[in-house]
Amino acid sequence: MTAQTAAGRRPLWLLMEEKIQGLASDDFSAANLENTIHRTAAALDDAGINVSQNAGNMLALRWAVEARVNAGKPLLDDFSDAVSTLRLEDVSDTYAAAVKIINEVGAVWPRLKEADRKPDIIRIIDKTKLGLLVARAKELGGEPGIRFLIEEDVTPEVIVKELEISDEEFARVNAAVEAERAERARVQALVQETAEKTDEEKVKHLINNDASDDLILELAGIDRGVLDGVKKAMEEELKEKQRLADEEAARKKAEAEGPPLEDIPADQMLEYIESIREILEFSDQENEIRTMCEQSSIPKSLVDVAVSDAARLDELESQAEAG
């Protein structure tokens, strides 16, 4: 039986069981039973489902009522109790959780084991799992809760709605998670590159490629003692590497700033001063002057004069002409 409502797409067997669950015990007495079946069918008809005039649906309703009479209680009581006991660790595999509930509850309610009900029950377990995930996220609170749901592949729309956060907050946390995932993938690739190396060689390779200690320990499976030993041995090498980096940074900075005033050739000094005067005619704002001078590759030493003591340009120009 696969009939479903037109709105909401809920399975007919579940709607029948909900109607049956809402009935009183007296409704299932021998004197009232037939009337109960027809009243329930009429209620389902009113909900937009053709039961009274559909032989198959009517037969299914009779079977459901008969099972309720034999068990002395509604199917949904047992089913809901079973679902309510589920913990988050129980629904890591929703298919397996659904099969377990079908087998347990189906021992008393055999029709629950019918093949076409399994997809419906899996959907119910999926919804239950989502509720448990959201509850755990709310316990964690804030960013940890958002991260938890992202890692569990909950859709952004559900995360924003259930945790009552803004799209911007979700985007911020998600961007951080994506960056961390990318870093993990990068470090994992580095680990694979050193598969045939010793632990010490692996650690050195990962450190030289800026992998964090936590990812080295986790992804490379390295002992903390090995990591600390390699880092100590590399300390002098790292210091030298830093020294060279600092020197290179200083060299690039000096190169970008250009020579000091005394080292600027006279002919270039005159060209630079001419360019500065054109710039000063265009703007008197220091930031704009510096930006335009930098774009014109004018040495910083001469730019400093232009923005602090522009009158000195005349003196420097005279000296250059005399030289």
Q: Report the DSSP beta bridge partners of residue 4.
A: 11
- What span, in angstroms and rounded, lies between the C-alpha atoms of 175 and 66? 56
Report pLDDT digits (tens) over 61-96. 999 999 999 999 999 999 999 999 999 999 999 999
Q: Is 217 exposed, middle or buried (0-12, 13-18, 19+ CB in 10 A)?
A: middle
Tell me: do 80 and 149 sit in the same domain. Answer: yes
pLDDT value, residue 311: 86
- What span, in angstroms and rounded, lies between the C-alpha atoms of 7 and 186? 48
Q: How far is the first Cα of the chain from the last one, in angstroms, to the nearest whole number?
A: 103
Which domain range does residue 131 map to?
74-165
Would you say residue 2 has pLDDT above 50? no
Would you say residue 260 has pLDDT above 60? yes
- What span, in angstroms and rounded, lies between the C-alpha atoms of 282 and 116? 80
Report pLDDT digits (tens) over 88-120. 999 999 999 999 999 999 999 999 999 999 999
Would you say residue 253 has pLDDT above 90? no
Look up residue 215 and give its two tokens.
């990812």
Q: Of 150, 165, 180, which one is at a domain's C-terminal end?
A: 165
Q: Report the DSSP beta bridge partners of residue 11.
A: 4
Number of domains in the chain: 3
Tell me: do 79 and 68 sit in the same domain. Answer: no
Q: Is residue 59 part of a domain?
A: yes
Tell me: do 53 and 108 sit in the same domain. Answer: no
pLDDT value, residue 5: 40
- What span, in angstroms and rounded, lies between the C-alpha atoms of 246 and 249? 5
Tell me: do 98 and 145 sit in the same domain. Answer: yes
Report pLDDT digits (tens) over 120-178. 999 999 999 999 999 999 999 999 999 999 999 999 999 999 999 999 999 999 999 99
Phi, psi dihedrals of residue 300, rounded to the nearest 5°: -60, -35
Look up residue 308 and give its two tokens.
């602090």
**Which residue type occupies 276?**
I
Q: Is residue 172 part of a domain?
A: no
